[in-house]
Structure 1
């Protein structure tokens, strides 16, 4: 027993060292940076996109920045995006990982000889080095979103308010770029809205079935021009699969806007948003849209505290098919701000919530992601009035909303790059920018293959409008041998020509009786 006091002392020291080793390191704060998006990378790190500036009063007079951090939020490297010739300013909105372990980012720039708010898309390799960049110039400020790479190496993205001078009524466009950044086509979305200037683009998300969902808001003549949440599902050819507008009921119309979100494994889409006609001046809301485009619910999130009178949420993430996480800015009756994390079930009901910032900081749109071990991470920016700079915070939480501890497992970060990645500046040359408004208008509405064909003729539809189409095949004498309708939203169609005699035929594509295109095809069995 004489060793017992020493054993007790050793035990207490062990506990003390353990507690010190597990001390809270969250949130991480980055002064002078305004980060807006986060992407989990192939090596279990994270990439942030945003801008760097020392000027609190002028939001956009900064330089776009891509920063890589490890799983504990420690900085690995960053790339500053600078336009040439100056004065020019950039802002990186979104970052996504590419098939080769590199990065595709989208952003806006303001520079000499440009009206401001034009879009650029930039591809970096796994070492953070520039491979190409594409500028998309138009009249007036534009809005850009996430860029996704397809299996064939091409890219899809959405741009809002593109080419307003030539298309003032058309506000949401889907762009397809080649693997080298060349624009293949651009297609109008939400063209079923007959009212000009009445769509707003918020986000562009991928669904589990390799299609994509556009979210935003819609002003319709049938709802007294009330702003209502809008969702559009499209395929990789740019054809609409379905659209849904959250209208509410005749006695209780729903006014609001959808922002960012994501799908569960069943294809249900959850979106964070803002409800504007509740008892609260603005209530945070979660929308749930089914895989076939039906509104399942629009669930307001309330708090028991009477002093928290209005709030807003920008993003929601599915941790599992039954658990959601979202970040909410709550404003009090005294104009104080509290930042909360909410844990919700799949019906939008609150399971738990936690205050993560009570410093009266109002966070701008945030990015969020999940980790390899199912933790929840968030990055967001705010105006740091005390230090007169923009600042960003980075949180990592466990499923019980407690802050995560230091992750001790070692990862080989940036393993696809054969040498260490260093901080540096990537210059983009705007002297070679051209206007793109009137290019690529010769895109054919239909592509057919193989030609000659033996049994099955594949037809790819590239029509922007949401209309039923018709395919007619005639022989060389003009006799109709096949007549089939193509449902709206269908991008791929296959015709059985095995019963046709060998020879030359003419394939015609029509929409509402109007001939769009004809192609000759040779049938050879």
Structure 2
């Protein structure tokens, strides 16, 4: 018996712009259990912003989109797929806040984006949630900032929630000035790593601020890094040998601004530090560990043109540059979230202002392992039928296959290995020998 299958090749590396009316912004992307992606941010149509969640498949096709919020401004900065295949989102609300300036806003949805519950946290001041992670033992951890609680003008705020969104505990960190929390990760030992910036400690201006807290939020150690100028800390990721790696931008030791990456050991001591960039000013917003032990970084680079491009940087475990790319052409483009995908490529999301438009759009790029992109091309429909005859049928050791001109035949075994190519574009054949009793040659692929 001969089983015939058709194959079609296509590319999974692409570039997409989403959004129509109003301004659309993206701040976080995750790959989902079905190999698609969800993106969160906000969308402004009639003057006010709503939290915006969209689901796309692995080719960038929009599956569904949802908006959440009230009569005022609401924003989202981070999304995570939860153990139940739903999503948890954190940001800021001015619609449901307890004061006039905004509260931390948390939303839980099912797998289709339908809201299950929402919570707000805050006081009479200004609060914001910048990042959320799922805790291995259940529930969630949020990092952001608060001016209602703590000892300073604004302090880092860490909030531990159970699976229903109820508060287990909260902690504030920082000094008498301004401090902010940007990113939070849970380590293998159950502790939490917080990254951000501080004006309270360190040198004269803003410095990188890194905190390690135990599973109840008590500080194990805290460190600052930087000089006398503005050095803004952003995202943190795990590194090899139980180390950590943090990205942001630095002006203290370079002019103009450069992306600054520091690698620290388990005690927060710097192992190495590097600056990066391909333009006049460069800013790093997101960092993620890759399968090879290195890291991928997304941000923006300002070159000769007066508009930035989205910037993607790949480094190895020692901080050496493997490659760097920029995207966006003559548009204003920035990258705010990057992850490595299941096929060892990368997906990045952020904002783009197309050169012929006044509004921001959501910008998503799916690249290969080297940061390259190719547009998805239209694939011609496969033929409904093909003239193919096998004689004799069934056959024992030799058969004759008649196919159309320029067709290609590949014989496969049961394990999917090509074991014979009796006919191709530059090779014609009519007799296909099979060893007598060879039961492994199970199928043939015909293309042309």
Asked if Structure 1 and Structure 2 have the same fold, meaning a TM-score greater than 0.5 normalized by the shorter chain, the answer is yes
Q: Aligned residue for 2:102? A: 117
Asked if residue 75 in structure 1 is aligned to residue 62 in structure 2, the reply is: yes
- How many angstroms does 1:179 deviate by? 2.0
Asked if residue 52 in structure 1 is aligned to residue 23 in structure 2, the reply is: no
Equivalent in 294, 310, 335 of residue 323 of structure 1: 294
- How many angstroms does 1:30 deviate by? 0.4
Asked if residue 153 in structure 1 is aligned to residue 173 in structure 2, the reply is: no
What aligned pairs does 1:232-251 form with structure 2 within 5 A after superposition? 232-247=211-226
Work out the number of aligned pairs and report it: 369
Asked whether the equivalents of residues 240 and 317 of structure 2 are also in contact (C-alpha less than 8 Å), the reply is no
Q: Aligned residue for 1:29? A: 17
Query: Aligned equivalents of 2:169 and 2:327: distance in 1?
Result: 44
Asked if residue 207 in structure 1 is aligned to residue 187 in structure 2, the reply is: yes
Cα RMSD (Å): 2.9
- How many angstroms does 1:95 deviate by? 0.6
Equivalent in 148, 161, 184 of residue 163 of structure 1: 148
Cα gap change, 1:112 to 1:186, in 2 (>3 Å): closer
Query: Aligned equivalents of 1:334 and 1:150: distance in 2?
Result: 43
What is the CA deviation profile of residues 459-494 of structure 1, one whole-angstrom value per residue up to 9, with x for unaligned ones?
xxxxxxxxxxxxxxxxxxxxxxxxxxxxxxxxxxxx
What is the CA deviation profile of residues 417-437 of structure 1, one whole-angstrom value per residue up to 9, with x for unaligned ones?
xxxxxxxxxxxxxxxxxxxxx
Asked if residue 286 in structure 1 is aligned to residue 261 in structure 2, the reply is: yes
Q: Aligned residue for 1:269? A: 244
SS of residue paired to 2:290? strand
Query: Aligned equivalents of 1:130 and 1:22: distance in 2?
Result: 35
Q: Aligned residue for 1:519? A: none
Asked whether the equivalents of residues 340 and 353 of structure 1 are also in contact (C-alpha less than 8 Å), the reply is yes
Q: Aligned residue for 1:498? A: none
What is the CA deviation profile of residues 371-417 of structure 1, one whole-angstrom value per residue up to 9, with x for unaligned ones?
1121111010133452222201111112222226869xxxxxxxxxx
Query: Aligned equivalents of 1:340 and 1:188: distance in 2?
Result: 33
Asked if residue 186 in structure 1 is aligned to residue 170 in structure 2, the reply is: yes
Q: Aligned residue for 2:392? A: none
Equivalent in 269, 272, 297 of residue 297 of structure 1: 272
Query: Aligned equivalents of 2:85 and 2:54: distance in 1?
Result: 15
Query: Aligned equivalents of 1:106 and 1:138: distance in 2?
Result: 17
- How many angstroms does 1:228 deviate by? 1.2
- How many angstroms does 1:221 deviate by? 5.9
Asked whether the equivalents of residues 96 and 147 of structure 1 are also in contact (C-alpha less than 8 Å), the reply is yes
- How many angstroms does 1:243 deviate by? 1.6
Q: Aligned residue for 2:324? A: 353
Query: Aligned equivalents of 2:243 and 2:233: distance in 1?
Result: 15
What is the CA deviation profile of residues 134-184 of structure 1, one whole-angstrom value per residue up to 9, with x for unaligned ones?
1113233322132233344332212302415x7544501211222221222
Asked whether the equivalents of residues 261 and 316 of structure 1 are also in contact (C-alpha less than 8 Å), the reply is yes
Asked if residue 343 in structure 1 is aligned to residue 314 in structure 2, the reply is: yes
What is the CA deviation profile of residues 73-101 of structure 1, one whole-angstrom value per residue up to 9, with x for unaligned ones?
21111221032xxx323212111122222
Asked if residue 108 in structure 1 is aligned to residue 79 in structure 2, the reply is: no
Cα gap change, 1:229 to 1:405, in 2 (>3 Å): same
**TM-score w.r.t. structure 2 length?**
0.74
Query: Aligned equivalents of 1:185 and 1:324: distance in 2?
Result: 32
- How many angstroms does 1:220 deviate by? 4.4
Cα gap change, 1:111 to 1:133, in 2 (>3 Å): closer
Query: Aligned equivalents of 1:154 and 1:112: distance in 2?
Result: 22
What aligned pairs does 1:33-44 form with structure 2 within 5 A after superposition? 33-44=24-35
Asked if residue 394 in structure 1 is aligned to residue 364 in structure 2, the reply is: yes
Cα gap change, 1:43 to 1:273, in 2 (>3 Å): same
SS of residue paired to 1:266? helix
Asked whether the equivalents of residues 104 and 124 of structure 1 are also in contact (C-alpha less than 8 Å), the reply is yes
Query: Aligned equivalents of 1:31 and 1:154: distance in 2?
Result: 32
Cα gap change, 1:222 to 1:375, in 2 (>3 Å): closer
What aligned pairs does 1:352-501 form with structure 2 within 5 A after superposition? 352-363=323-334, 366-384=336-354, 386-403=356-373
Asked whether the equivalents of residues 330 and 355 of structure 2 are also in contact (C-alpha less than 8 Å), the reply is no
Q: Aligned residue for 2:161? A: 177
SS of residue paired to 1:76? strand
Query: Aligned equivalents of 1:331 and 1:185: distance in 2?
Result: 42
Query: Aligned equivalents of 1:367 and 1:386: distance in 2?
Result: 25
Where in structure 1 are there 5+ consecutive unaligned residues?
1-13, 408-525
**TM-score w.r.t. structure 1 length?**
0.64
Query: Aligned equivalents of 1:135 and 1:39: distance in 2?
Result: 23
